[in-house]
Amino acid sequence: MTTARHCALCAAAGLLCGLTPLMPVFAASTTAQAGATVVLPASVNAWLGVPVSVQDLLLAQDAPAGPATGGLVPRVASASTPAILRALPVWIAAAVESRQAFGIDIVPAAGATLLARGPAAAVSVASAATGGDGEAPLVITVAFN
């Protein structure tokens, strides 16, 4: 049935017809939803160069984005980062997750990546005083994100 004839029949019958214009009968379509969640950057500026505890970092990871958040801090080029400040985020994340605050040797990393979870795009560096036998506390310093 042509569209015109279809319309004429619908009009003659007084039908409210939703079939015009007719799509080709051999076509098929469907949709998918696209989504993105925008989060505000975490306020880590105040932490720059200041040692923070594992608990602080845990709170930062779990903190929701909100009005207290601030701007991103420019990334420090890894080549110019002092050795002691070179980040090992995966290691930090693992340390935080396991809450192992003592006795972890520092292995310098060439660069930094984002922490594994949480809305805060924070990257931290860590150091541990060499006390031997895991006696020294783990010190985590937020350097950049």
Partner 1 sequence: MTKIFHRPTHLQASLALSALVLLGAAGMRAVQAADNATATATAVVLAPMAVTRFSHLAFGNVVAGNGVVTLATDGTRTKSGTTALPTGVAGAAARFDVTGTGNNTFSIDYTGSDSTLTDGSTTMAVDWITEALTSTTATGKTDETTDAATGTLSSGAAYIFVGGKLTVGAAQAAATYTGTVKVTVAYN
Q: Pick the closer one to partner 1 by CB: 40 or 104.
A: 40
- State which of residues 4, 12, 14, 30 lies at the interface with partner 1 (CB under 8 A): 30
CB of 45 to partner 1, least distance (A): 14
Query: Is residue 124 close enough to count as binding partner 1 by CB under 8 A?
Result: no
Tokens, residue 73: 């801090």
Q: Pick the closer one to partner 1 by CB: 2 or 31.
A: 31
145 HSE (CA, 13 A, CB side): 22
Q: Are the C-beta atoms of 139 and 129 separated by less than 8 Å?
A: yes
Query: Is residue 24 close enough to count as binding partner 1 by CB under 8 A?
Result: yes
Per DSSP, helices labelled H in 54-142 are: 54-62, 89-98
In the chain, the amino acid numbered 132 is G
Q: Are the C-beta atoms of 115 and 133 separated by less than 8 Å?
A: no
- Nearest-angstrom CA–CA distance, 39 and 71: 12
Stretch touching partner 1 by CB under 8 A, among 3-11, 23-31, 50-58, 132-140: 23-31
18 exposure class (CB count in 10 Å sphere: 0-12, 13-18, 19+):
exposed
- State which of residues 17, 102, 117, 129 lies at the interface with partner 1 (CB under 8 A): 117
Stretch touching partner 1 by CB under 8 A, among 4-12, 46-54, 108-116, 133-141: 108-116
Query: Is residue 26 close enough to count as binding partner 1 by CB under 8 A?
Result: yes
Residues in touch with partner 1 (CB under 8 A): 24, 26-41, 65, 72, 113-121, 145
